[in-house]
């Protein structure tokens, strides 16, 4: 398949590939796994939070 990305999306993909020391294919594969995992957990009724490591403050990520 061909993946069509905008210039901005391509830039993010390239930057993350460098930062994570991964190929673009590996990075997209990881993104898909994470997306599926989040979807499964949210469908199950779980919530997704980000927690500030210092203040322990939690912010829920709203997924509609």
| Residues lying near other proteins in the complex (CB under 8 A) | 20-23, 26, 29-30, 32-34, 36-37, 40
CB-based contacts of 20: which residues, under 8 Å, 6+ apart?
27
Considering the complex, what minimum distance in angstroms separates the CB of residue 27 from other proteins?
8
- The nearer residue to other proteins, 7 or 19, going by C-beta atoms, is 19
Cα–Cα distance, 18 to 13 (Å, whole number) = 9
- The nearer residue to other proteins, 7 or 52, going by C-beta atoms, is 52
Q: How far is CA 33 from the centre of its chain?
A: 9
Tokens coding 23: 């190929």
Considering the complex, what minimum distance in angstroms separates the CB of residue 34 from other proteins?
6
């Amino acid at each position: 398949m061909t993946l069509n990305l905008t210039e901005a999306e391509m830039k993010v993909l390239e930057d993350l590939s460098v930062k994570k020391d991964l190929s673009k294919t590996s990075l997209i594969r990881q993104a898909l796994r994470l997306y599926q995992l989040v979807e499964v957990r949210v469908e199950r009724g779980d919530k997704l939070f980000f927690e500030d490591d210092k203040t322990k403050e939690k912010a829920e990520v709203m997924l509609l």
